[in-house]
Structure 1
């Protein structure tokens, strides 16, 4: 059986998943990429493949709350540049899941996240003033968008770990807090909803797993509300540092599990 139900869990296991769902809400409205910790908790409590199917609807619940909060701040030209490459990545991730075991998946994604975090830090230290999002229309900018898009689609399909990849891309193109959160909110809502048929086809989601999701989605709401409260109190530099730190932690968790 690939899916998991509410009745398979002990009280402590459900409490761990509830805390992870709370963090999902916070990550969607405050520090994108922090939900890599949630990914690790879900994979520790549930069988690795089943965890991706259970986590996906929880992420979608968080995406809906993020869109409701930051819908006015999305930068659609950036989204349209990313979507074709992301679609390629999602298809590649689906094919990868057909044959790759959990260890290969975790190691691959963890290595990618750490590499990209390192590249982002290096670029931010050696580059001048970042370009505004509207200015990223050069050939190099388009190549970067496609590269990040494919990696984001791949990692979000195989392990729901696309958040850090897209976070690094948006930071590298000079997004400020609200534009960052609004653009990523719509991006992940659209991408995560598009993943549902693939997850169902792979046997990772069914009616039984959705019952567990319904119980966990309740905990996403207070996390999202806390994130909305926290964002104005976090300055831009600290915001960027938290996003990169969350990416590194998520990559290390995947490599060391």
Structure 2
């Protein structure tokens, strides 16, 4: 187990809680764990450390929303997502920590822009019922696969696709839950082979699981009581700040 300062332990615990929040009905928190882990651990190692926690969060999300998935959309996405994951594996193989840190920072800034586009689309197209063209799966799939392999932060990408597909809220949560469980499980052999997921990272995950569970319970309650719009705005500001920090540091 690596030695961390009290502040670093606090940041890791907050990151684990954010995983629970994002998986229990508040997906806007999705990029936060990536930013916090990358600020404490070496950039490449942080991706493997986050992955273990995400799998625990995925199991919780599937337990909550397993009955609401749209399997037609999932089958359409899988082949193109695999392409994006494999591209991310190649980048992680050749890139050093500094390059990965910059890539993660750029992805976070991009995801903020994408999230803002999602918010604007929701406001503009509330009355629109036309779904997105099926061919867009070939755009969102590779993009989602690449961002999840490099930064474990494909939430805004895939949320944009699921919402644009005009799925009901419960269907968005259920489809996303199964999607990320399958994709994150698919990433495990590559993360192990790249030396990103290690016995040390799994031990760290075990220590942080209680914080994740607390975050999931809090998220489950807050998602039903507090307007998600305010949370989205706060998280977007924090994510943008983290992305800029990683780009400039």
If the length of structure 1 is used for normalisation, what is the TM-score?
Answer: 0.85
Partners of 1:243 and 1:71 lie apart in 2 by: 24
**Which residue of structure 1 aligns with residue 208 of structure 2?**
216
Distance 1:84 1:246, change over 3 A: farther
Partner residue of 2:89 out of 87, 90, 94: 94
CA distance in 1, matches of 2:125, 2:214: 38
Which residue number corresponds to residue 171 of structure 2? Answer: 179
Deviation track 1:122-167 (CA, whole Å, cap 9, x = no partner) reads 4344435243xxx74xxx6122222111111000000111111112
Equivalent residue for 1:250, pick from 214, 219, 239: 239
* Corresponding residue SS for 1:9: coil
Deviation, 1:245, is 6.2
Task: Structure 2: give runs of 5+ residues left out of the alignment.
Answer: none
* Count of residue correspondences: 243
Residues in 1 aligned to 2:94 and 2:233: alpha-carbon distance in whole angstroms: 31
In structure 2, C-alpha distance between the alignment counterparts of 1:143 and 1:256, rounded to whole Å: 35
Gaps of 5+ in 1: 1-5
- Superposed CA offset, 1:32-89 (max 9, x none): 1313112111111111111111110001111111111111111211211211111111
| Cα distance change of structure 1 residues 162 and 155 upon mapping to structure 2, 3 Å threshold | same
Measured in 2, the distance between the counterparts of 1:155 and 1:18 equals 23
The answer to whether the 8 A contact 1:71-1:186 is kept is yes
Give the superposed CA RMSD.
Answer: 2.2
TM-score by length of 2: 0.87
Structure 2 residue corresponding to 1:27, chosen from 17, 22, 26? 22
Measure how far apart 1:12 and its partner are.
Answer: 2.8
> Is the Cα–Cα contact under 8 Å of residues 76 and 183 in structure 1 kept in the other structure?
yes
CA distance in 2: counterparts of 1:105 and 1:59, whole angstroms: 20
Q: Which structure 1 residue ranges, 4+ long, deviate > 4 Å from structure 2?
A: 240-245
- 1:188-220 deviations in Å (ceiling 9; x for gaps): 111111100110111111112211111111211
